[in-house]
C-alpha cells in the first residue's frame, strides 16, 4: 500500500530564489536578491516596501518585462502549475502573459496605446490567445468593459485613451488584463496614480473580480490601508529581499521584523485615538551596488546587535506560514519577538492595528 505522495496541493505560482541585477555605469545594482514566494489560487498576495526595494523588478522579471540588457537574471526559478516561466515567455509555445498571468500598471494614462481604441486593445488579447475573430473579440471587449463598470461600454469601446479619465482607464486596463481569464493578475501599484475617491472603486472592482472568477492577485502597494483591505498574505520587501512574510493578521498583529513595525509607524493615519505622529524610518535603504554583508536593515534598526552587521539573518519561522528575517528570533535572544512589538515607543501594536483598519474603512 502506498501513501499519496503529497497531500499538500502545490501552489499556483512558486517563485524560488529570484535574483535580478542591472549593469549600470556606476556598477552592478543588485535589485532583487533572492526572493521566494508562493501564490495560492484565488488569494491575494500583497508585496509592500519602500520605493526602490525591488517590488516592480520582481514581478517584471516573472513577466519577462525587465529590459535585458541592462537587466540580468542571475538565479531563481518560477513555476506556474509546475511549469517553468522564468527566462521565457512561453509555455508549450504559447505566451503565458495575457493568457495565464495578466498585469496592470501604476500609470493608466501612459500604459495604453494612444492611437488605438480601447476596445481594440482589449480585443487584441482574445484574437492572439484564443484565435477569435475580430468581431467576436470586439463583442467580448464590450462585455469586459461592462464588467469593469464602464458606462455605455459599446460607445466607450470605440474611443481612444485620451477620451477616458484616469480611473476609467485603470478599469479598462483591468478589463484588458482579465480578458483571457488569467489565473493570476499582477497589479503594480494600481491605485497610486489615481484620486483617493477613485482608488476605492478600482480596489472594489479587483476584489469583486477575484470573488467571481477566483483569480489570484499579486498586489504591489505602498499603502498598508490597501493591504488591510485586500490582502490574504503579505510579503514585506526591503533592499531586494523579503524580510517578512505572513498572513495579513500576522503582519498587523504579530509583526516579526522591525522594518514591518517601522513601515506601519510611518503610515499616515486619521485615527483620532491614535497618536497623531508620523514616524518616518530614520536613514535610507542600503546601497544596492554593494549590499551589506549582514542584515540589510541594520543601519536603521533600533535593535541592531553585533551579529546583525556581520551575518545575514536566516528567515526564522515564527508561526505557520509566517517568517521574519531577523536575528531577534534566534533562540539565544531573550524576548526577541517582544522587542519587535515594542519597537515604536508609545505606539503599541494595538493602536497600529486600529489605524490600519480605520484606514481600510475609509477606503470603502
Partner 1 sequence: MWNYALKRLIQGLITVWFIATATFLAMHAVPGDPLSGAKAMTPEIQQNLEKKYGLDKPIGQQYLIYMKNLAQGDLGISFTQKNREVNDIIREHFPVSATLGIMAVVFAALGGSLFGALTALYRNKWPDNVIMLAVILGISVPSFVFAAFSQLAIVKLNGLLGVSLLPVAGWGTISHMLLPSLVLGLGTMAYLTRLMRSSMLEILSSDYIRTANAKGLPATRIFARHEMPNAILPVVTVLGPAIAAITTGGFVVELVFAIPGLGRYFVQAVQQLDYTVIMGTTVFFGAFLVLMVIVVDLLYGFIDPRVRVS
Ligand X SMILES: Nc1ncnc2c1ncn2[C@@H]1O[C@H](COP(=O)(O)OP(=O)(O)OP(=O)(O)O)[C@@H](O)[C@H]1O
Binding site for ligand SF4 (CB under 6 A): 257-258, 295, 297-298, 301, 303-305, 308, 313, 326-328
- Asked if 125 and 179 touch (Cβ cutoff 8 Å), the reply is yes
How far apart (Å, rounded) are the C-alpha atoms in residues 324 and 314? 8
**Helices and strands of the chain, counted as H and E runs:** 12, 14
Shortest spacing between CB 305 and ligand SF4, in angstroms? 6
- 105/327 with CB nearer ligand SF4: 327
Binding segment for partner 1 among 32-40, 158-166, 328-336, 339-347 (CB under 8 A)? 158-166
Q: Is 288 in the site for ligand X (CB under 6 A)?
A: yes
Q: Which stretch binds partner 1 (CB under 8 A): 9-17, 41-49, 105-113, 200-208?
A: 105-113
Residues from 51 through 80 that contact Mg ion (CB under 5 A): 56
> DSSP assignment, residue 97?
B
Whole-angstrom Cα distance, residue 72 to residue 9?
32
x/- binding map, residues 50-69, to partner 1, per CB under 8 A? Answer: -------------xxx-x--
Minimum CB distance to partner 1, residue 14 (Å): 21
Q: What is the b/e burial string over 251-281, where b = at least 16 CB atoms within 10 angstroms of the residue's CB? A: bbebbbbbbbbbbbbebebebeebeeeebeb
Which residue has cell 517568517? 323
* Residue 95's binding partner out of Mg ion, ligand SF4, partner 1, none, with CB under 5 to 8 Å set by partner kind: partner 1
- Cα radius of gyration (the chain): 21
Contacts of 97 (CB under 8 A, 6+ apart): 63, 64, 89, 103
Residues of the shown chain interacting with ligand X in the complex, contacts defined by CB under 6 A: 22, 24, 29, 31, 49, 51-57, 67, 70, 288
Residues that bind partner 1 (CB under 8 A): 63-65, 67, 89, 95-99, 102-103, 105, 107, 110-117, 124-125, 128-129, 160, 162-163, 173, 176-177
Amino acid at each position: 500500500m502506498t501513501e499519496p505522495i503529497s497531500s499538500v496541493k502545490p501552489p499556483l505560482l512558486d517563485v524560488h530564489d529570484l535574483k535580478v541585477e542591472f549593469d549600470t555605469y556606476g556598477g552592478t545594482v543588485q535589485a532583487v536578491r533572492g526572493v521566494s514566494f508562493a501564490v495560492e489560487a484565488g488569494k491575494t498576495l500583497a508585496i509592500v516596501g519602500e520605493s526602490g526595494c525591488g517590488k516592480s523588478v520582481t514581478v517584471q522579471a516573472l513577466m519577462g518585462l525587465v529590459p535585458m540588457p541592462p537587466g540580468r537574471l542571475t538565479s531563481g526559478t518560477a513555476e506556474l502549475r509546475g511549469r517553468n516561466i522564468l527566462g521565457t515567455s512561453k509555455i508549450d509555445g504559447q505566451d503565458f502573459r495575457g493568457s495565464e498571468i495578466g498585469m496592470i500598471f501604476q500609470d493608466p494614462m501612459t500604459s495604453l496605446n494612444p492611437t488605438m481604441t480601447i476596445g481594440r486593445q482589449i480585443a487584441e488579447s482574445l484574437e492572439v490567445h484564443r484565435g477569435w475573430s475580430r468581431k467576436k473579440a470586439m463583442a467580448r471587449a464590450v462585455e469586459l468593459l461592462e464588467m469593469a463598470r464602464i458606462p455605455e461600454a459599446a460607445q466607450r469601446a470605440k474611443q481612444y485613451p485620451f477620451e477616458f479619465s484616469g480611473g476609467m482607464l485603470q478599469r479598462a486596463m483591468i478589463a484588458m488584463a482579465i480578458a483571457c481569464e488569467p489565473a493570476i493578475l499582477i497589479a503594480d501599484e494600481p491605485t497610486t496614480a489615481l484620486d483617493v475617491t477613485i482608488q476605492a472603486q478600482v480596489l472594489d472592482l479587483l476584489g469583486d473580480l477575484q470573488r467571481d472568477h477566483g483569480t489570484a492577485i499579486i498586489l504591489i502597494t505602498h499603502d498598508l490601508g490597501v493591504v488591510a483591505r485586500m490582502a490574504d498574505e503579505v510579503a514585506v520587501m526591503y533592499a531586494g529581499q523579503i524580510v517578512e512574510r505572513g498572513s495579513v493578521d500576522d503582519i498587523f498583529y504579530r509583526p516579526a521584523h522591525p522594518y514591518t513595525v517601522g513601515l506601519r509607524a510611518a503610515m499616515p493615519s486619521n485615527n483620532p485615538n491614535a497618536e497623531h505622529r508620523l514616524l518616518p524610518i530614520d536613514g535610507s535603504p542600503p546601497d544596492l551596488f554593494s549590499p551589506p554583508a549582514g542584515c540589510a536593515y541594520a543601519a536603521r534598526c533600533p535593535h541592531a546587535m553585533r551579529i546583525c552587521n556581520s551575518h545575514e539573518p536566516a528567515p526564522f519561522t515564527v508561526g505557520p506560514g509566517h517568517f521574519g528575517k531577523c536575528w531577534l528570533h534566534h533562540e539565544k535572544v531573550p524576548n526577541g519577538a517582544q522587542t519587535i512589538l515594542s519597537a515604536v515607543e508609545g505606539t503599541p501594536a494595538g493602536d497600529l492595528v486600529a489605524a490600519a483598519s480605520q484606514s481600510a474603512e475609509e477606503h470603502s
